[in-house]
Amino acid sequence: MKSYDQLFINGRWVAPVKGGVFETVDPSNETVLAKVAAATAEDIDLAVKAARCAFDNGPWPRMSGAERGAVLRRIAKGIRDRLPELAEIEVRDNGKPLPEALWDLGDAAGCFEFYAGLAEQLDENAEQPVTLSDDRFSSVARKEPVGVAGAIIPWNFPMLMAAWKIAPALAAGCTMVLKPSELTPLSALELADIASKADLPPGVLNVVTGLGKDAGAPLSEHTGIDKLAFTGSVPTGSRIMQAAARDIKNISLELGGKSPFVVFDDSDVEAAVEWIMFGIFWNQGEVCSATSRVLVQRGIYERLLERLEQETRKITIGNGLDEGVMLGPLVSRGQYEKVLEAVARGKEEGARLVTGGNRPANLNKGYFMEPVVFADVPEDSWIWREEIFGPVVCIRPFDDEADAVRSANDSRFGLAAAVMSGDLERCERVARAFRAGIVWINCSQPTFTEAPWGGYKQSGIGRELGEWGLNNYLETKQITRYESEKPWGWYIK
C-alpha cells in the first residue's frame, strides 16, 4: 500500500506540523492498511488560511461557472479513469462489497458532472430581477458563494459523501477544507490527487485527515470558516452546531435515522422481501437512510417473516473483494461491538430473534456478522427507537393505516420512510403523512443526485443534492437601485 502520511494543503502535499500518523485498518482481516497523516489544530489553521486566501484573492470564485464546470468535469473523468483501483481502496478501507463500491464511485463521478451543469447554469441565472412594490427602485437578487466551507464526513460512503459536499461547494465558487472520517480516510486523499491533476487552483480544495477531536473539532471552531457542512451522528452534529453557534456559521447537518418501512397486506410479498433486505442489508446496514424499522400488516406478517428468514440466511458474507459477496465486514471493531451489543440488548428486551447475529463459522478474522432479523419488536424498546447502524432489521405488525402512520412517525428521527402497497392512492396518502425528508413508494433506498436529500427532526438541517445542495453553498444578495430623478424626500422636500 502506498503512503498516505501527508495532508493536501494549498495545492501541495505536506507533512502534518506535529508529524503524527494514525492507522486505518482493513476490516476484513483486522490488519493495518495504511498509516495516515494525523492533522491537529495547527494543520487545520494552515488549511483554512489557504482556503481563505484562495477565496479572497484567488481566481476560483471569480471564474465563470462554465470554467468551474470544466474543472468539475475533469475531476469526474479522473474518478472514472481510476474506477477499479479506487473501488479496491474503498473496499479495503470500508469493507463494502466491490459492486457497491463501484456504484458509489460512479455516483461520485456523476455528482461532479451534475454540479458542473449547475455551475454552467449559474452564469445565466445567478442574478434574477425582483419586482418591487415601489417603481422608483429596481432590484436584483444575486447568488454568490458563501465563502470558505468546512466539510466533515462519515465513513459509510467515503468517496460519495466527499463528492456530495465538494461538488456543490466548488460549483458555487466556494473554497473548502474537507476532513474525512479517520476510519476511512484513503479515498478522500485520492480525490485530492485527482482534483490537483484536474487543474483546480491551489487552496481551493484542502484535504486534512485526522481524528474527530484533534482535526474535526478545530475545523468546526475555526473563525476563518463561513460555512460548515457536516454528515455524521446526532451527538457530533450537536457539538458541531454548538461550535458553529459561537460565531454564527452557516451550517447544514445530515444526521442519523431510524427510518420506517410500512408494508400493507396487498403487497407482493416477494418484492417486499427484496426491498426490505436491500433497505437494511446493503452496505452492511451502515446507511443513514436504512429502513431499519419495518411495519408489516398483520395479514401477511408471518408469511413475510418466513420468506425474509429464508432469503436472509442465503446472503453471502465475506471479504468485499471476493466475487458474489453481498455483505462485507462492519467498518471497525468499535462499530462491530456496538452492533453486537445492540443484538444482545434486543434479545433482553423481548424481541424475537428470527435469524442472525453470530459470526459466520467460516470467518474467524474480520468484523463479520450474520444479518439479523428481529420480529415482534416492542415499540418502546431501545432497538426499535435507536439507530444501530448495522445489518439489523426490527419488525412489528400493524392493523390499520392510521396506526402504521402513527408508529412510523413516532421517532425523534425523520430522515427517510418507505411504504409498499398495491393501492397507489394509499401509498401517496401515506407518503404525505410521513414526517421524513425522503420518502420511497414501493421501493427503499434508490438515491438520485437530482433530488433533495436530508432529514426532518433530529435527522438534520438543510438539504443536499440537486439544486438544494448548490443553494447550501450560496448566499443571496439584494442589489437595489434608486432610479427616480426626484429627491427621496426625507430631508430635501
For the annotated catalytic residues, the residue numbers are: 254, 288
By rule CB under 6 A, what count of residues binds ligand NAD?
Answer: 29
Among positions 1-40, residues that touch ligand NAD (CB under 6 A) are none
| Selected range binding ligand NAD among 13-21, 78-86, 149-157, 483-491, rule: CB under 6 A | 149-157
Which neighbouring-strand residues pair with 476? 143
Taking CB under 6 A as the criterion, the residue among 4, 112, 389, 434 binding ligand NAD is 389
Q: How far apart are the C-alpha atoms of 319 and 330, rounded to whole Å? A: 11
Identify the residue among 256, 285, 371, 414 touching ligand NAD (CB under 6 A). Answer: 256
Applying CB under 6 A, does 239 fall inside the site for ligand NAD? yes
CB of 73 to ligand NAD, least distance (A): 25
220 binds ligand NAD (CB under 6 A): yes
Asked if 387 interacts with ligand NAD (CB under 6 A), we say: yes
Query: What's the CA gap between 416 and 404, in Å, rounded?
Result: 15
| Residue number with CB closer to ligand NAD (213 or 246) | 213
Residue 187, amino acid = S
Per CB under 6 A, does 217 bind ligand NAD? yes
Q: How far apart, in whole angstroms, are the C-alpha atoms of residue 384 and residue 292?
A: 8
Is residue 213 within the footprint of ligand NAD (CB under 6 A)? yes
Q: Which run of H or E residues covers position 342?
A: helix 333-348
Q: Which of 61, 110, 173, 257 binds ligand NAD (CB under 6 A)?
A: 257
| Backbone torsions φ then ψ of 458, nearest 5 degrees | -75, 5
Virtual CA dihedral for 144, 145, 146, 150, nearest 10 degrees? 170
Helix (H, G, I), strand (E, B) or coil at 102: helix
User: Residue 38 CB, nearest distance to ligand NAD (Å)?
Assistant: 11
Of the candidate spans 77-85, 235-243, 345-353, 355-363, the one that interacts with ligand NAD by CB under 6 A turns out to be 235-243
104 binds ligand NAD (CB under 6 A): no
Q: Helices 401-409 and 424-433, interaxial angle, to 10°?
A: 30
The region of 37-45, 103-111, 122-130, 230-238 touching ligand NAD under the rule CB under 6 A is 230-238
356: left (phi over 0), alpha (psi -120 to 50) or beta: left
Using rule CB under 6 A, residue 181 touches ligand NAD:
yes
Of 184, 127, 130, nearest in space to 153 by CA: 184
CA nearest neighbour of 194 among 314, 74, 45:
74
Give the nearest distance from C-beta 62 to ligand NAD in angstroms. Answer: 31
Q: Should residue 182 be labelled a site residue for ligand NAD when binding is judged by CB under 6 A?
A: yes
Options 29, 138, 139, 233; binder of ligand NAD; rule CB under 6 A: 233
227 neighbors 98 (Cβ within 8 angstroms):
no
Phi, psi of 56, rounded to the nearest 5 degrees: -75, -35
> Does 200 contact ligand NAD by CB under 6 A?
no
Query: Is residue 460 near ligand NAD by the rule CB under 6 A?
Result: yes
Residue 452 as a binder of ligand NAD (CB under 6 A): the answer is: no
Instruction: Find the shortest distance in angstroms from Cβ 251 to ligand NAD.
Output: 12
d(CA 319, CA 328): 6
Q: Quick count: other Cβ atoms within 10 Å of Cβ 360?
A: 15
Which one, 175 or 236, has the nearer CB to ligand NAD?
236
Verify binding: residue 95, ligand NAD, rule CB under 6 A.
no
Contact 163, 153 (CB under 8 A): no
| In the complex, least distance from residue 41 CB atom to ligand NAD, rounded to whole angstroms | 12
109 Cα distance to chain centroid: 15
Q: Does 232 bind ligand NAD (CB under 6 A)?
A: yes
CA 364 to mean position of chain CA atoms: 31
CA distance 369 to 330: 8
Task: Decide: is 231 part of the binding site for ligand NAD (CB under 6 A).
Answer: yes
CA 12 to chain CA mean position, Å: 27
What residue ranges bind ligand NAD (CB under 6 A)?
A: 152-156, 179, 181-182, 212-213, 216-217, 220, 231-233, 236, 239-240, 254-257, 288, 387, 389, 415, 455, 460
